[in-house]
């Protein structure tokens, strides 16, 4: 890799990001600017920011690497991210959230729920769960970026992680949501271009769309030989129904992220940043195209990397991707870029991944910071003081926790684990189980009570945690709590339940609990409902 070329491209990129951040910093005058960007954001900026926040290094490096193992069945996740994550989210959740957020003057997702249910407790609990669980997601995004930098520059992962964290920390603490959204739009545009070029060069290198797919299909026997016992049927077909691979692909990767996207605090807050429904309508068009490219390309390139490593690359001839990357799923895409792409593209892809990491991390840290400053400190605990400073302290604390998680996680999980994709899916699953029933109820049902909201939130959270710690073996085994207490790696050891994702159990349990507890609570006041649902419906 040509270091002068790489350094020049990265420096120009950082200069532009820095300029946009300083510009937004100067324009951030109030708490409203910091939290919901003054509610005046352009639809292009909103859609690109939503997409760039959603798509991270986790999606490109983590899920791309997972696709290299599981195959193109992950294209179903692309479909869900477009249909559920864009269309349903914007049309059926976004509009109501925007109007209700304005009606009740909400600035964050926990505040939205707290004001809707007239409960500081709900606001505090929601903020606390976000502050507690999101560092896991942030850490795997950091990991994805650092893995790429380490691979391309041939430096130690820990050094890459340290410097990436420093760069992101500086610019996140400065800007506020306005700064985050402007840079997101710029970074989203780079990601879009980078992924399009990657797709084009890959297909050109492998002989065209159909020829490339056919070469991959012809490798079916190799896939079955290596992973056949787990249900693999080839990289261009779906895993065998009910097999371990099918359960991972469907319950963890496709459903976990595909449904969890509806309850992501860092994405929901973006609905509250636009002036009217017109901006949301326009954002559906822009967001749909962006997500198709950003997500879809990773899930096509990942599986096709097997053809490249097995047939085209001299140093890895006869090796499939996972073997070429020494069983490290997160190394597959960075290795592919390093060996398959021209040098100039490696520099472009470096800033594509930096964009993906920075845009997602900035929003994650922003949400964690506001959860601590606004939702927990100021509202739930009722403390007065400068919530902007508390928020920035929260962001700083969240960065430190995420950094140490990104440093420590690789030591706890075995080499073959798709840790980045898994960490992301776990967070998305917890959010879906804890927040989705009460969030959906909040915007659609006037009759939903505070007790119903609490019931769903607590049940979803506890079932998710129980399943992760005591049933789902990929987490319960390295966490070792189950082993310490009961002498086994999982309470369901020897059954397929150990592979079923927590979401599959926790979300239905949360929905049932919301309905049951709803009957026990006091109905909300009519006047409050009129205020919340003013201009809705």
Q: Rule CB under 8 A: which residues touch other proteins?
A: 71-73, 75-76, 78-79, 82-83, 86-87, 91, 95, 102-103, 209-214, 216-217, 220, 233-234, 236-238, 275-278, 280-289, 292, 296, 527, 531, 534-535
Closest CA to 254 of 425, 419, 88: 425
Q: Please give the structure tokens belonging to residue 254.
A: 């496709």
Closest CB 427 distance from other proteins, rounded Å: 24
Closest CB 329 distance from other proteins, rounded Å: 20
Closest CB 332 distance from other proteins, rounded Å: 19
Closest CB 238 distance from other proteins, rounded Å: 4
Q: State residue 445 phi and psi, 5-degree precision.
A: -120, 120
Q: How far is CA 488 from CA 244, 287, 477, 478, in A?
A: 20, 45, 8, 12
Closest CB 437 distance from other proteins, rounded Å: 25
Looking at beta carbons only, is 67 or 149 nearer to other proteins? 67
Spacing of C-alpha 127 from chain mean position: 18
Closest CB 46 distance from other proteins, rounded Å: 13
239 Cβ partners below 8 Å, 6+ apart? 70, 71, 73, 230, 231, 232, 233, 245, 246, 249
Closest CB 73 distance from other proteins, rounded Å: 6
CA separation for the pair 277, 18 (Å, rounded) = 31
Alpha-helical regions (H) of 319-386: 321-324, 332-340, 343-370
CA separation for the pair 502, 157 (Å, rounded) = 30
Looking at beta carbons only, is 293 or 341 nearer to other proteins? 293
CA separation for the pair 408, 283 (Å, rounded) = 38
Looking at beta carbons only, is 73 or 514 nearer to other proteins? 73
402 Cβ partners below 8 Å, 6+ apart? 135, 138, 139, 142, 165, 361, 364, 365
Looking at beta carbons only, is 290 or 309 nearer to other proteins? 290
Looking at beta carbons only, is 51 or 124 nearer to other proteins? 51
Looking at beta carbons only, is 208 or 408 nearer to other proteins? 208
Looking at beta carbons only, is 25 or 83 nearer to other proteins? 83
- The SS3 assignment for 107 reads coil
Cβ atoms of 267 and 54 closer than 8 Å = yes
Q: Please give the structure tokens belonging to residue 148.
A: 């790429």
Closest CB 248 distance from other proteins, rounded Å: 15
Looking at beta carbons only, is 101 or 334 nearer to other proteins? 101
Closest CA to 349 of 493, 192, 487, 204: 192
Indicate left, alpha or beta for 480 from its phi (over 0: left) and psi (-120 to 50: alpha). Answer: left
Cβ atoms of 257 and 81 closer than 8 Å = yes
Looking at beta carbons only, is 248 or 419 nearer to other proteins? 248
Q: Please give the structure tokens belonging to residue 306.
A: 């097997």
Closest CB 72 distance from other proteins, rounded Å: 5
Closest CB 90 distance from other proteins, rounded Å: 9
Q: How far is CA 96 from CA 84, 100, 304, 415, 418, in A?
A: 16, 6, 41, 44, 36
Closest CA to 452 of 513, 524, 528: 513
Looking at beta carbons only, is 175 or 288 nearer to other proteins? 288
Structure letter (DSSP) for residue 480: -
Closest CB 79 distance from other proteins, rounded Å: 4
Looking at beta carbons only, is 53 or 476 nearer to other proteins? 53
């Amino acid at each position: 890799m040509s270091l002068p070329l790489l350094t020049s491209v990265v420096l120009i990129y950082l200069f532009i990001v820095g300029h946009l951040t300083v510009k937004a910093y100067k324009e951030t005058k109030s708490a409203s600017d910091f939290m919901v960007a003054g509610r005046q954001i352009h639809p292009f900026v909103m859609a690109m920011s939503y997409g760039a926040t959603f798509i991270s290094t986790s999606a490109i490096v983590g899920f791309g690497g997972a696709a290299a193992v599981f195959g193109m069945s992950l294209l179903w996740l692309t479909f869900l991210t477009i249909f559920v994550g864009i269309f349903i989210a914007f049309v059926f959740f976004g509009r109501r959230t925007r109007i209700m957020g304005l009606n009740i003057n909400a600035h964050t997702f926990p505040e939205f729920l707290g004001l809707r249910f007239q409960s500081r407790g709900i606001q505090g609990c929601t903020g606390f769960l976000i502050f507690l669980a999101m560092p896991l997601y942030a850490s795997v995004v950091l990991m994805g970026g650092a893995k790429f930098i380490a691979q391309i520059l041939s430096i130690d992962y820990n050094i890459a992680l340290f410097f990436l964290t420093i760069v992101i920390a500086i610019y996140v603490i400065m800007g506020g949501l306005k700064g985050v959204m402007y840079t997101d739009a710029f970074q989203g545009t780079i990601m879009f271009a980078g992924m399009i070029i990657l797709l084009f060069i890959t297909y050109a290198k492998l002989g065209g769309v159909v020829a490339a797919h056919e070469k991959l299909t012809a490798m079916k026997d190799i896939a079955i030989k290596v992973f056949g016992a787990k249900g693999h049927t080839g990289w261009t077909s779906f895993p065998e129904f009910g097999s371990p691979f099918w359960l991972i692909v469907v319950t963890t990767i496709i459903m976990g992220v595909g449904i969890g996207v509806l309850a992501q605090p860092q994405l929901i807050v973006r609905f509250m940043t636009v002036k009217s429904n017109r901006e949301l309508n326009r954002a559906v068009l822009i967001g749909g195209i962006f997500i198709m490219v950003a997500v879809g390309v990773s899930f096509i390139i990942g599986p096709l990397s097997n053809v490249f490593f097995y047939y085209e690359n001299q140093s890895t001839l006869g090796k499939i991707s996972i073997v070429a990357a020494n069983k490290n799923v997160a190394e597959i895409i960075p290795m592919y870029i390093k060996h398959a792409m021209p040098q100039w593209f490696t520099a472009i892809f470096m800033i594509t991944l930096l964009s993906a990491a920075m845009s997602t991390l900035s929003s994650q840290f922003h949400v964690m910071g506001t959860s601590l400053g606004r939702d927990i400190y100021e509202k739930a605990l009722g403390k007065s003081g400068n919530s902007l400073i508390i928020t920035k302290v929260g962001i700083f604390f969240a960065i430190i926790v995420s950094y140490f998680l990104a440093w420590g996680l690789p030591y706890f999980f075995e080499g073959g684990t798709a840790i980045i994709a898994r960490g992301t899916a776990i967070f998305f699953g917890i959010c879906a189980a804890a927040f989705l029933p009460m969030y959906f109820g909040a915007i659609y049902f006037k009759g939903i009570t505070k007790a119903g909201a609490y019931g769903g939130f607590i049940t979803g959270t506890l079932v998710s945690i129980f399943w992760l710690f005591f049933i789902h073996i990929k987490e319960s085994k390295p966490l070792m709590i189950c082993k310490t207490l009961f002498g086994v790696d999982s309470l369901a050891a020897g059954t397929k339940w150990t592979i079923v994702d927590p979401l599959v159990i926790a979300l239905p349990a949360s929905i049932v609990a919301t309905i049951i507890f709803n009957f026990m609570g006091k109905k909300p006041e009519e006047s409050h409902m009129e205020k919340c649902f003013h201009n809705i419906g």
